Structure 1
Amino acid sequence: MAAYAALLSLARTTDTDRNQCKHLFPTDAEGTVRSIHDYVNFLLLFFKEFPEKVKRWECKIRDVAYKTEDIIEIFIWQRIQSRHEARDPSRMIKLADQLGNVAEEIGLIAGEVMEERPDHLPAAAISSSLRLSSNGDDEAIGLHDDLLAIKERLCGQSSDLQVIPIVGMAGIGKTTLARAVYDDSLVVEHFEVRAWVTVSQDCRKFVLGLVESMNLAGEQMLGDEFDETEVALKVFKNLYGRRYLVVMDDVWSTEVWDEVRNMFPDEYNGSRIMLTTRLLDVAAYPDSNSTLHEMQFLNDYQSWTLLQKKVFTNSNCPAELEEVGKKIGRSCAGLPLAVVLVAGFLSAVNETRASWEEIAENVNTVVEMELEDILSLSYTHLPHHLRPCFLFIGGFPEDANIHASTLVKLWVAEGLLRHENGCCKSLEEEAEEYLEELVKRNLVIVTSRKSNGRIKSCSLHDMVRDMCIRKAGEEKFLRVMESRVVPPQGMMNERRISFNRSDVHSIWGPTIRTVLCFRLQSLPSCWPEFLQHSRLVRVLNAAGNHHNGLLLPSQLFELFHLTYLALVGSFKIPSAISNLVNLQTLIIRSAFPQRKRVWRDDKNASPNSLPLEIWRMRQLRHVAFCYPYILPHPPDGSNLPLENLQTLSPVQNLVWNEKILQMIPNVKRLRLVYTLNQECHLHHLNYLHQLENLGVTGCHIFSWKGKNPIFPRTLKKLSLVGGGFPWKDMAIVGSLPNLQVLKLLDYACDDHCGMWEIGDEEFPQLKFLLIDRSPLRQWKTRNSPFPRLECLVLRFCWSLIEIPESIGEIPTLELIEVDYRNKSLVDSAKHIKENQQTYGNYSLQVRLV
């Protein structure tokens, strides 16, 4: 909610300014700021303990918090820019007067709140620890007959190209059904090519999504301007002569089909196109003779079964809750999305009949209304600490595949998380837990997970996003601008704005703290004006297709309060970057995100250098670029380490020494790129005691000779690209006690024998192993290799003939993925699977890619 988020923000402002900018305030003002900080901490505590009692104060708290923050941050900015004016006695008197007034307002609110505080803590209505609900490949309850029908049409005898439309109202399970069929093992084996693209209301987005899904995207296709005829021909040629399945999800208009129909060849080989839509006329348009697959509502039994599965996972519902539970299921009117969302907040309340009866009464009154109201009910049951985080996600574009790491960094930079006393987790770790909580409550959809099981990317259902945007607007938390028209009142009172267009002007406003823009063709001419008039900005996320080599506006480096800066393109980072003393995150993304990044042996590359002043920026937490940058060695006399720095990626040709290690003692994620034939002293990495994720590209074999690199025991993920390390030296990697993910890419290991022999004690915690482009010829294991391995991926291993039989005996192994063109390796993987099935192990899967 906006009031809670405003208090979090003000708490950070008053605390940070009191510590770092204490010298800027007159003595009497400093004491007032301290009092305000204490009031804010009390109100935050009250929000946490008694969330149901704060509703009548929310608007007052939000407004006075925003006003207080403006007063403090404007004063600091003025002192930084012009010391002479800010030292003027009249200005000091005005500041003291303003702070005194808002402190009195906050104190009055705190006094009213104190009178309402109960003598004892009530029983919590919502448990702080959520029950884990299944979010993976659960059986699609109520869709068994639908699955069989669609699979029969996809894999049937008809050789003609067929369009199979799935139609139904929002939330009824169209995409769930399509996804279940698309991922079905029979369907995967039946089609040579599969592509999935969410169409939504933008036809051009479909074209780009299709070429990206088929891995055909080139630089010339990823901008706003591309040759549609050329793209269509490229798709046609790629599909020609191959049996393909294309899913067009969420189609809103017939024009989309008119635009793309000629891309799909009909070679009478059984190819299929599956289409989901809410509109009957759109469903019937591609082929009027095709039978529509119309989704049906769940019956009462199916609703109750789905509700139980989502709430209790594999456990049974307690007998005393079964009657009221069935009542709740019936109230959802057979709509799967409604059932899933209601299950989300049932999972968060106490398992008592009284709690469930209360929810049953609410559901009964709203279920016949618009689905938006059910979504609002789900929002109402969110704990206060999750509400601002959830509302923030609404600022991302429709159908966006949101990188979890980006979202986490933005939440931290926004100040939406608060460290509890005694908490040993980092803010980023807490943010990841927040995201998992939102997933468990079925408000956020996981679109992919990392090899270590953590969330990689996520999205919002269209209707959930609509509700999110509406709530964010009602609570004055965030304004999402989905048109180029700026409202008549302008941006004068907005705190956060989000837009997804390249032609929005006049977006500046004196109160703006956060700008999220996702579709800039280039840095617009209005940006200097925006930066000049929006000096209190903390978060600036500017995404789009920028040209390389642009100079950053000088006004950017006057944003004293900036904590998060993300741009797209290739920029020279000037020494003025050190003016941003509060900057936590610095990200430079590629304008071509689908383009494969190959850094090894790029002799023509001309990497940019970070300025020497980077070592002064002690608040930095994450420095991540799309291309390698050169990190200068710390200057003499630099004795204050960057203790907050967690991410540094990618750094080129860095030679390790004791000084570098002292300056980044807590780095967790590190990417190193080597293009020169030099000694890089990787053995020093052993002194980075917080390092968990390491990637090394192009470090040549001689770097290992004589003094093997001793990686820190804390390492959980290791990626090696190129270098040609001897296979026998993998024993060093195998000795790491916490390593969970290992990726060997692009001849990472290469020696004359081409044999990898693994001992019994090696890789005790490894869960994911990828070998890509390797000359490995022979692979030997002993009795119990990789005791916890879950996934094995082998790509472009042309010389490898077979997988060791003992790999199949690993009890945790779930998947072997191999290149379908390596027939001997495919036969070996299938043999292992068949052999395991004779022992009753049917969980092991083999996937051909």
Structure 2
Amino acid sequence: MTVDERIKSCRVHDALRELAIRKTPEMMKYQPNPDLENAEMGYNLPKEIGKVRLLRYLGLRRTSIGRLPHSFGCLRNLQTLDIRNINRVIVSNFIWKLESLRHLYAYKMECDVPLKIEGLRNLQTLSGIRFDDIMHNNMITLTSLQKLGIWVDDGSDIGKLCMHLSEVGSLKTLRLYCNVRREWPTVCGLSKLHHVTELKLCGMGLTTLPPDFPSNLSRLSLSFTRLEHDPMPALEKLGQLSFLKMEFSYWEPQLVISTHGFHQLKFLELNFQHGLKEIKVEKGALPQLQCLRIRKCLSLEKLPEELKYISTLEKLELVDMPEDLISRLDADMISSIPNLRIF
């Protein structure tokens, strides 16, 4: 750490201590919400942080903090805690005490014992929690939970997880992450999650699509997967799907969208599909498409001709695409799409 970085770290540490000694409501109501994102901190938070009883927000994203002190359990008014660090963050078993907590963002949060989160009736967002910690809690008690992000591994039983979450009626968004060095477990049972409308699957070990999806799914993201077969024949049958994003997800040369496929899809993004050479869109496909974004598909040779005949298409965005492809765009394609944007 440089001299300047040490000075900055000391100032951050001193600022936290200063917050901790403010005791009267008159002084506390003027205190700032500490956002220490990217702060160079070569140590963990001081235990005095627990004295900042009226603290509502604390941002520690991309810091080097590896452990939160026991005194965090005293922050009964804390509503948002952001600990999305590059490395894991170890917490003591105090999360269940944060009765006002609404949003908890983590990258990989770990506890020496199964993490207790039951009874947090105000919690709306829970991100970066481990599979085992979810399975050790009665999730029905989280009556306000809307967004949930879980780390799974090759030993996780996704079927049991879906059954465990099936009665969490408030849950709308589910994100499943798998360590890129591990093989995905079998992803099944998603159809039990009737309330889930948004799903994200992320991890290089995912080579095949799940056999089922939530029946009311409207938004789907596939990121950093390695699908071995064209996913479109399965995905285009999802009757409620209006948003589809694929990022580093498919490495084969062709995608085919069949006649009348994706009859509700309004937004499609293909991002970093490095092996993709051809997108084939059959007549009558994508009848509701409004926006198509293609980004860094460096092997793509041309755009599908059928795009010219999709009357609903309002915006076509080409981002960091090969100059050869841009130069081959014909006049009909350019004139038929109201908003063609090239970045």
Q: TM-score of the superposition, structure 2-length normalised?
A: 0.77
8 Å Cα contact 1:622/1:646 also seen in 2: yes
Match of 1:717 in 2: 219
| Mapped partners of 1:637, 1:542: distance in 2 | 26
Is 1:749 equivalent to 2:267 in the alignment?
Answer: no
| Mapped partners of 1:525, 1:680: distance in 2 | 35
Describe the shift of the 1:613–1:807 C-alpha distance in structure 2 as closer, same or farther (beyond 3 A): same
TM-superposed CA distance for 1:516, in Å, is 0.9
Describe the shift of the 1:809–1:542 C-alpha distance in structure 2 as closer, same or farther (beyond 3 A): same
Match of 1:472 in 2: none
- Secondary structure of 1:516's partner? coil
TM-superposed CA distance for 1:819, in Å, is 4.4
| Mapped partners of 1:525, 1:729: distance in 2 | 45
**Residues 221-300 of structure 1: pairs in structure 2 closer than 5 A:** none
- Secondary structure of 1:557's partner? helix
Describe the shift of the 1:530–1:541 C-alpha distance in structure 2 as closer, same or farther (beyond 3 A): closer
Match of 1:509 in 2: 23
Match of 1:671 in 2: 175
8 Å Cα contact 1:501/1:518 also seen in 2: no
- Secondary structure of 1:683's partner? coil
TM-superposed CA distance for 1:523, in Å, is 9.4
TM-superposed CA distance for 1:530, in Å, is 5.2
TM-superposed CA distance for 1:804, in Å, is 1.3
Is 1:846 equivalent to 2:340 in the alignment?
Answer: yes
Q: How big is the alpha-carbon RMSD for the aligned residues of Structure 1 and Structure 2?
A: 3.6
8 Å Cα contact 2:227/2:250 also seen in 1: yes
Q: Return 5+ residue gaps in structure 1 as ranges.
A: 1-219, 227-483, 485-499, 590-606, 837-842
Is 1:773 equivalent to 2:272 in the alignment?
Answer: yes
Letter in 2 for 1:579: K
| Mapped partners of 2:16, 2:110: distance in 1 | 33
| Mapped partners of 1:701, 1:542: distance in 2 | 32
TM-superposed CA distance for 1:721, in Å, is 1.9
Per-residue CA deviations over 1:26-83 (Å, capped at 9, x if unaligned) read xxxxxxxxxxxxxxxxxxxxxxxxxxxxxxxxxxxxxxxxxxxxxxxxxxxxxxxxxx
TM-superposed CA distance for 1:558, in Å, is 2.2
**Residues 62-461 of structure 1: pairs in structure 2 closer than 5 A:** none
Match of 2:65 in 1: 548
TM-superposed CA distance for 1:647, in Å, is 1.4
| Mapped partners of 2:304, 2:247: distance in 1 | 20
Letter in 2 for 1:667: L
Whose Rg is larger? 1
| Mapped partners of 1:757, 1:698: distance in 2 | 23
Match of 1:692 in 2: 197
| Mapped partners of 1:819, 1:564: distance in 2 | 34
Match of 2:144 in 1: 644
8 Å Cα contact 2:42/2:65 also seen in 1: no
Is 1:609 equivalent to 2:143 in the alignment?
Answer: no
Describe the shift of the 1:689–1:680 C-alpha distance in structure 2 as closer, same or farther (beyond 3 A): same
| Mapped partners of 1:584, 1:643: distance in 2 | 11
Q: Return 5+ residue gaps in structure 2 as ranges.
A: none
TM-superposed CA distance for 1:651, in Å, is 2.1
Among residues 577, 592, 595, which one is paired with 2:95 in the alignment? 577
Q: Percent identity?
A: 21
8 Å Cα contact 1:710/1:732 also seen in 2: no
Match of 2:131 in 1: 631
| Mapped partners of 1:765, 1:679: distance in 2 | 29
**Segments of 4+ moved more than 6 angstroms:** 523-526
Letter in 2 for 1:670: L
TM-superposed CA distance for 1:687, in Å, is 1.3
- Secondary structure of 1:616's partner? coil
TM-superposed CA distance for 1:782, in Å, is 1.8
- Secondary structure of 1:624's partner? strand
- Secondary structure of 2:238's partner? coil
| Mapped partners of 1:567, 1:633: distance in 2 | 17
Match of 2:283 in 1: 783
Is 1:587 equivalent to 2:105 in the alignment?
Answer: yes
Among residues 810, 813, 823, which one is paired with 2:310 in the alignment? 810
Match of 1:826 in 2: 326
| Mapped partners of 2:333, 2:314: distance in 1 | 10
- Secondary structure of 1:847's partner? strand
TM-superposed CA distance for 1:672, in Å, is 1.6
Per-residue CA deviations over 1:545-569 (Å, capped at 9, x if unaligned) read 63232x2222211234444333464
| Mapped partners of 2:63, 2:205: distance in 1 | 34
| Mapped partners of 1:755, 1:526: distance in 2 | 51
TM-superposed CA distance for 1:713, in Å, is 2.8
Describe the shift of the 1:756–1:503 C-alpha distance in structure 2 as closer, same or farther (beyond 3 A): same
Is 1:621 equivalent to 2:135 in the alignment?
Answer: no
Per-residue CA deviations over 1:460-499 (Å, capped at 9, x if unaligned) read xxxxxxxxxxxxxxxxxxxxxxxx9xxxxxxxxxxxxxxx
- Secondary structure of 2:95's partner? helix
| Mapped partners of 1:548, 1:583: distance in 2 | 20
Structure having the larger proportion of residues in helix: 1
Letter in 1 for 2:251: D
Report the count of equivalent residues. 320
Among residues 257, 260, 272, which one is paired with 1:758 in the alignment? 257
| Mapped partners of 1:701, 1:566: distance in 2 | 28
TM-superposed CA distance for 1:505, in Å, is 5.5
Per-residue CA deviations over 1:212-269 (Å, capped at 9, x if unaligned) read xxxxxxxx9xxx859xxxxxxxxxxxxxxxxxxxxxxxxxxxxxxxxxxxxxxxxxxx
| Mapped partners of 1:543, 1:832: distance in 2 | 51
Describe the shift of the 1:642–1:526 C-alpha distance in structure 2 as closer, same or farther (beyond 3 A): closer
- Secondary structure of 1:572's partner? strand
TM-superposed CA distance for 1:540, in Å, is 2.7
8 Å Cα contact 2:265/2:289 also seen in 1: yes
8 Å Cα contact 2:295/2:318 also seen in 1: yes
8 Å Cα contact 2:279/2:303 also seen in 1: yes
| Mapped partners of 1:669, 1:755: distance in 2 | 30
8 Å Cα contact 1:818/1:848 also seen in 2: yes
- Secondary structure of 2:216's partner? coil
Letter in 2 for 1:547: S
| Mapped partners of 2:307, 2:261: distance in 1 | 14
Per-residue CA deviations over 1:440-465 (Å, capped at 9, x if unaligned) read xxxxxxxxxxxxxxxxxxxxxxxxxx
| Mapped partners of 2:137, 2:147: distance in 1 | 24
| Mapped partners of 1:677, 1:547: distance in 2 | 25
Among residues 558, 562, 565, which one is paired with 2:81 in the alignment? 565
8 Å Cα contact 1:740/1:766 also seen in 2: yes
Letter in 1 for 2:220: L
8 Å Cα contact 1:830/1:846 also seen in 2: no
Describe the shift of the 1:586–1:821 C-alpha distance in structure 2 as closer, same or farther (beyond 3 A): closer
TM-superposed CA distance for 1:632, in Å, is 0.9
| Mapped partners of 1:544, 1:574: distance in 2 | 18
Describe the shift of the 1:791–1:518 C-alpha distance in structure 2 as closer, same or farther (beyond 3 A): same
